[in-house]
A and B are shown apart, each in its own frame.
Chain A
Amino acid sequence: MKKEISVYFILFAILALLSGVLIGIIASFQFIIPGFFNIIPFIKCRPLHVSLVIAWIFLVSIGGVYYYLPKYCNVSLYSDKLPKIHLWIFILTGISVITSYLLGIFGGREYWEFPPVLAIPVILSWILFGYNYFKTVFTKKDHWPVYLWMWATGIFFFLFTYIESNLWVFPYFREHLIRDITVQWKSNGSLVGSWNMLIYGTAIFLMDRIKEDDSIAKSRLAFVMYFLGLTNLIFNWAHHIYIVPNAPWVRYIGYGISMTELIILGKLIWNWKKDLTKALQDFHILAVRFIVASDVWILLNLTLSIALSIPAINIFTHGTHLTVAHAMGSTIGINTMILIASCLFLIPDVTKVQFNKLEAKFISIGFWIMNGLLFFFWIALILAGYFKSHLVLQDKLSFQDIMLQIRPYIGVIAFTGIGILGAMLMIFLPPVNMIKNYLIKK
């Protein structure tokens, strides 16, 4: 397959991420200053921010799979044309989604706020991706490493759970509020699990390739963890809706399954020193550096996520910024770190050019600034959530007064957001420059 297609996936991904973060910063300032940048009000900024950041996740994950499969997995891609069609569908759908938001035409479903008709090309693109992927990997005769299973799982479950998230178009689901919210958050929870499969598969692939050792990706432990992750993808979503009055056993199953994440947390802590020492040996490799950072963020976010899944804690934190801390910690701290690692591995691999000392230094400084500021950003969200919860339960202040009380924390979030965007620009400038030179030469 021509390598350029993956490069274009990455290029559009970086554009989506930087625009998404910029819109996120505008949205956070709209919390502090009413009427700020009213050309794009909050009602449009929020869906724009979410959709652009999700586009970043998909474009890097998918672009990576299209490149890594034929290059490193001893298979030929079933079709070289389908990735091009996929990219075109993605871009045209993306433009339609952005246009619909800017024109104020909404479907109004949290995280997928575009009109439901645009779900059709999204589903079509995933069918094409899945068809190409499965036709390719089923030609592989030897045992698959765990990342091939994870990518397959991510594609399969994304397709089904995304279709599920659109069931609201049928009155049976839409008109019954409890069923509607339950199904919506069942699918949203599993959708996140699906793209996590694509991303974590990429992380394992990268470590496998960098170390040139596939024993971890074929180990029993890797598969046990994968099946545990898949079980959580299927059943661990009810913590989003503990207070929604559906059948009580929905909550109990969700609570029980979410506690199995303690096994993952336990394994992380048990092997922490050993794994970290091993990883630090390769810390000079830029891609490894971002994967090590994602490991730290996994530890922090998994602890938070397990705590939020306990109903006795969830009852205090639900509907507060503590939930946002978990979402941001996972999306930026874990997912984005891994995906940046994938970009930093893939781009020099395609272009056959390595980062020079100055570029590496630039990326390295960006890495430390991004992680440092993200920590303050995350802590500010936790504190905002804690104080909001406390004030809501006190029941003495109005909503507006509560928001005034937590405004300083939102200020920290907005300003650290600016710094995170700056750090991202430092990280992405050298690889984008590398892509530009490569495409010009071509």
Chain B
Amino acid sequence: MSHDANPHGTAGTKGAVRRFFTNNLVTLVFLFIGIAGLRVSGLALPFFIVDIVDRVARNGFLVLALIIPVLAGLGLNFAIVLGAMAGQATIIFMTHWGIGGIWGILLCMAISFPIALALGVLTGRLLNKARGKEMITTLILGFFANGIYQLVFLILVGTLIPMKNETLVLSSGVGIRTTIDLTDGLKFGLDDLLRIPLPLFAILCGAAVLGSFPVRSVLRKRALAAREKTPLRDGVLALTGLFLAGWGIKNLVVESMYSFIRVPAGTFLVLGALCLFILFFTRTKLGQDMRTVGQDRHVAEVSGIDTDRIRITAMVMSTVLAAWGQIIFLQNLGTFSTYGSHEQVGMFAIAALLIGGASVAKATIGQAVVGLFLFHTMFIVSPLAGRALFGDAQLGEYFRSFVAYGIIGLSLALHSWKKHMQQKQGAGG
């Protein structure tokens, strides 16, 4: 594959633009769908912004939980569903004990940690037995674990596990109710910690985006291999940062209806901390080992890395993060469907990541953030657009689930197709 050695040198701006388009085709298509859907749906911008900010806060952690297994070569971890179940189990305990607020959230995270850890170890061990079939295994494992989860909370609670709580247990005395209200409990436990007006939040975001440039240039200098230069992406980022900051300042000075939108900044702080952690982690010895295992297991083994152990570690981290992610998700939502909230967590998180331009072998924080915005834009507008276009909101929902499933199927197919072609070329030349 030597003909690919210098793709960035002489091509110039035209080449750069074309490369930007081919590399980000999926993302751009969804950007278009999102904008078109927003126009068609006739949704007022402030309502849309309230919704999208909320959804990004709610789902961000879960999407970020997917990055580490991709790094370790395990592909997209559909088994974050298991982590989500661990999170939900502890939320049920908390609601039973009547602990709420930020302390409830922290306690929840602490208790879900060992559960998620154990589940992660089990998942990792299973995946070490099912090498080469990791993704389908995590997918089926999610379905399997869902059965066990139902068995525990629908059948065993009240029969084998004694539990007396009228608000939680069904009137027959067996099984947890299908929906649990978290009001007066964990609801907004993290979100209400710190709420700031949207314009201020926009200024902070803009500052963070612009501030990332000097940090990244330092990191780039320190990195051993020279990173590729991405002028177009940098330009887009800089413009976004400037726009956010400018828009924020304008709305802060001239009070508008945006000033009354209050953003859960605490949750975003936690998200930011997780992003920083992942960045930091990929630069540690363990992170580098994980990357080696992900790129080539044989090379990793020759250089003395215990690949099985690394893979288990990656699954444990992902499962624990997913458990915490589900806790953050549900405290924002405020009510949860005991037997349904976790089911589609894996699928939605993965679809979001893929729409951001990630693949089975590569996923970055930037892709996660972009994907979150685009996927949830589609989520918000598609029922409304469906009603406006076809006179039927249901059609919009079918379209939405078609896109979620289709994007996963298609990008998995594209990825293995690409790999297939590369292998062919490698064998040929």
**Are A and B bound to each other?**
no
Q: Which residues of A contact B (CB under 8 A)?
A: none
